[in-house]
A and B are shown apart, each in its own frame.
Chain A
Amino acid sequence: MAAEKARPDCSCGPALADVRRRLMDDFPMLNAMRARRPMYVEKLVKVVRDCAEYNERYVMPVALEIDRRMEHDHDYFAWDLVQAALPYRLLSLAIPGLVGGVGGLSVMFSLAMEELCSACPGIGNIFGAHALGVSPFLVAGSMAHWESALRDCAESEKAGKPVLMAAAVTEPSAGTDVEEPNFLKTARLSMGAKKVAGGYVINGTKCFISNGSVADYTVLCCATDRDRPFESWTTFIITKDMEGFSVPRVEEKMGQRACPAAELLFEDCFVPDENVMGMEGDGMQPGTLLLLAASRAPVGAIATGISRSAYEWFVKWANRARAGGMRPIDRQSVQMAIADMKTRIQLARWAYLNAALTFDGSLGNVMNSPVTKSLAFMPRSVRTGDQFKKFFLSNAGKQMTEALIAAHTSSAAVTHALANASMAKAVGGDTAMYISTLALEMMGIEDSEERPWIEKAFRDAKLTQIYEGTNQLNRLVLFEAGIQKSLKIELKNPLGFGRKGGGPRG
């Protein structure tokens, strides 16, 4: 409630009715859904409207300035913008209502990402990378982890203090390799965790970690046996104050600068057993695969936001009269280009919504299951009590969580979600690059209000073809997960529970 009261009372941002109309026009699937689930769709409209207001009020006035500043000042982070976002609950969009979050799943988060990134994908991705850090808790974390980290994040947000999260997967010598099960088997890893009494000792480096330098909680994946990386890939929760954990470097990026990409260094960093998420060895399958099924649709949405930004600034430019009184938009070639851009944006949009709906219809069922919801009726003192925590952190507790997931979804559903998510990510990234490049070429080089925004979109867009798995990898995943199936070649048990394909137990 404190956050609700702190929310700015202003006339900024578009009217709810305008946003509703725009969303229903852009997303016919949502319009169709409205008849069956009017309250849910209205909640989506409000979230998008909030993002638009946040953009207009806070982001647009400073986005270019922050981008330029962070070209050289790598230690700067726009905490004031994160602070300003707290009343909008952008940090807890993906956190379940059970632990104080908004409880949005992939559809809600993807719509929010498109809206946020249509203003500044660097700032938008602060929330995107944060949600990427939240996602492993949803797909692999125990109730005890939800009650500690996720509740901390949601409650702190309400109290006016930002708590950020990050996910650390990429290593200096292994990028694509740590995002795909077959590649992981032959990866040359530089990081490893060694089992010791009461926990693990981690040594090594992660790189290009979005939010890595500012996160309070970082979800880290690494091997406990570097000779058997696939079988021993394990997920850990790292807190920023852990001894032996440091951030030696923030990268100098071409774009999306407002969201820092950091190198994380671990030197004999002790992580207690209770910070292991899921079981040892489940980090890739199901861990990372589920994470990517959850996160690639929002990345498609980030890219679509960038496309939209380039498109909207280009249309504005084209509408303005040049020397001699002519407007570029009066020319047929410009009209054709604008129509082409609009078409591609819509296709990318539908691809990410389709992927998000697929995810919400598979793993999302777990969040909405009666068993999960019934936990809300349990007194909080019980849920956060030692006995409860001890049970959920035990093998039996973790296996119960896995059973719950397995009961509400299936390997086939997860495979389908991963295929659609990979498709959405690849098409979104390619669209963003195409549109920003075309807009730049048609506009030319001139001293105009629109030029810096379109050039920024061009710089920002390229990253969407690279992170969350390069588009090449996403196409390979799509082939394996979405096309081979039609050739009667099934993906091997991506859910991996029961140690059939995932971990070393069995």
Chain B
Amino acid sequence: MVRVADDVMMAGEEERRMLVESVAAYRGQALDDYAQEMDERPDSGRFDLAWKKLAELGLLDALVCEESGGQGMDIYSFCIVLRELAAGQAAVAAAVLSQNVALWALDVAGMLGDAGPIEEFGGGAARAGIAWPATGDGAFVPGGTAAGLIVLASEEGAVMKSAPGDPTVEVKELDYPLGLRGCRPAIVKAVGMEGLAGAPVVSPGAERAIECRLLLGVTAIAAGITRQGWEKAAAYAAERFQGGDIIIKHEQIRMMLSAMEERLAVMEGALATAASRERLDVAECRGLKATACDMAMASAQDAVQVHGGYGYMRDYGVERLMRDAAYLRSYPRPRIATLT
């Protein structure tokens, strides 16, 4: 909570502070306890309950501007929200990110009205996701399996939308995913279409905006995972007795915990800088996302290691962080793809 307050002081807006605190409170009350159940049994219905609550909080159309009927949240505030959610359940945060960027892209492309009333996706809790970049090999879409609306976007800025049953789009639930399981992710392919031929291109200069929003959102989720790992590991280390004392007094454990905390500070500082720019810088976002995901993976692995054998058991919910972090590294696309 202290961290939330610090962030908000930087932003300096009371309204934002209240929103973020409400998300943090929601996480503490409703998400943390069910995070493991969502992961182990994605079809248990627990995710749907969480989704409805997120709709009530106005987080499912947060990025869409107010003129178009959304919440008009700025990207930095949205990232703080994602980080809060990911500190409880990263899969939920990833699905919220995918939905928001999907609706934002449609809005920018002037196609939001064609998808139906925005209220359905906001307060109505209808589900959407974005496949970016839409290619013949397929894109990973968190929450894509149950999404009624899939937005496909190309690297060139072309945008099109698809509903279930559309023959030009193949939506396939990812079989036994390693991470982000709670949101039932899908692989979405544009069938027989090269570069979304014929789809409208978003306004010039905004072709990288979709990517930047996804990258910043993933960075925020990585920060949430890092925070969760750090909190769990520190709490465990303060209780676990080994080698004649609680293990937090062992130098090696302190080094691991310090490294997690340092990574978190670096991530949050860089995220605040990158997300607060008037014009988002794609190179900065790419570098930030890659670095943040590496840090999240290292922190998650360290968190498991601090827990020893208990960390490897699912009851403690720490191994889930490793699995989720692994998928974040490849979302929205693997690093190697950014080299082309």
Determine if A459 is an interface residue (Cβ-Cβ < 8 Å). yes
Q: Are the CB atoms of B314 and A252 closer together than 8 Å?
A: yes
Determine if A207 is an interface residue (Cβ-Cβ < 8 Å). yes
Cβ contacts under 8 Å, A440 to chain B: 178, 326, 329-330
Listed stretches B134-142, B202-210, B214-222, B262-270; interface member: B134-142
A68 to B176, CA, bound (A): 8
B143 CB to nearest chain A CB (Å): 14
Count of A-B contacts judged by CB separation below 8 Å? 119
Interface residues on B, range: 35 or more
Q: Are the CB atoms of A254 and B305 closer together than 8 Å?
A: no
Nearest opposing residue in chain A for B331, CB measure: A445
A433 to B326, CA, bound (A): 12
Q: Are the CB atoms of B327 and A445 closer together than 8 Å?
A: yes
A23 to B151, CA, bound (A): 52
Determine if B254 is an interface residue (Cβ-Cβ < 8 Å). no
Listed stretches A3-11, A81-89, A170-178, A486-494; interface member: A170-178
Determine if B96 is an interface residue (Cβ-Cβ < 8 Å). no
Q: Are the CB atoms of B335 and A441 closer together than 8 Å?
A: yes
A317 CB to nearest chain B CB (Å): 12
Cβ contacts under 8 Å, A470 to chain B: 305, 308
A140 CB to nearest chain B CB (Å): 24
A186 to B244, CA, bound (A): 5
Q: Are the CB atoms of B178 and A459 closer together than 8 Å?
A: yes
B30 CB to nearest chain A CB (Å): 23
A126 to B310, CA, bound (A): 20
A445 to B327, CA, bound (A): 7
A431 CB to nearest chain B CB (Å): 14
Could you say which of B314, B330, B335 contacts A445, with CB atoms under 8 Å apart?
Answer: B330
Cβ contacts under 8 Å, B176 to chain A: 68, 452
Cβ contacts under 8 Å, B333 to chain A: 444
Listed stretches B49-57, B119-127, B272-280, B315-323; interface member: B315-323
Q: Are the CB atoms of A176 and B308 closer together than 8 Å?
A: yes
Q: Are the CB atoms of A437 and B305 closer together than 8 Å?
A: no
Q: Are the CB atoms of B308 and A446 closer together than 8 Å?
A: no
Cβ contacts under 8 Å, A72 to chain B: 40
Could you say which of A188, A252, A437, A465 contacts B315, with CB atoms under 8 Å apart?
Answer: A252
Listed stretches A99-107, A320-328, A342-350, A420-428; interface member: A320-328
A167 CB to nearest chain B CB (Å): 14
Cβ contacts under 8 Å, A174 to chain B: 242
Nearest opposing residue in chain A for B177, CB measure: A445
Could you say which of B177, B252, B339 contacts A333, with CB atoms under 8 Å apart?
Answer: B339
A465 to B301, CA, bound (A): 10
A467 to B305, CA, bound (A): 11
A264 CB to nearest chain B CB (Å): 14
Determine if A77 is an interface residue (Cβ-Cβ < 8 Å). no
Per-residue interface assignment for chain A, residues 466 to 489, with 1 indicating a CB less than 8 Å from any chain B CB and 0 otherwise: 110011100000000000000000
Q: Are the CB atoms of B326 and A458 closer together than 8 Å?
A: yes
Q: Are the CB atoms of A462 and B301 closer together than 8 Å?
A: yes
Within residues 198 to 255 of chain A, which ones have a CB less than 8 A from any CB in chain B? 207-208, 251-255
Q: Are the CB atoms of A333 and B137 closer together than 8 Å?
A: no
* A331-B336, A452-B175, A459-B178 as given contacts; A177 in contact with B242, CB under 8 Å: yes
A443 CB to nearest chain B CB (Å): 7
Determine if A404 is an interface residue (Cβ-Cβ < 8 Å). no
B residues adjacent to A (C-beta < 8 A)? 40, 135-138, 140, 172, 174-178, 185, 187, 241-244, 252, 297, 301, 304-305, 308-309, 311-315, 319, 322-323, 326-327, 329-331, 333-337, 339
Top-10 shortest CB links A-B? A323-B136, A444-B334, A186-B244, A455-B178, A254-B319, A444-B330, A252-B314, A445-B140, A208-B309, A323-B137
A residues adjacent to B (C-beta < 8 A)? 68, 71-72, 170, 173-177, 183, 185-186, 188, 207-208, 251-255, 261, 322-324, 328, 331, 333-334, 433, 437, 440-447, 452, 455, 458-459, 462-463, 465-467, 470-472
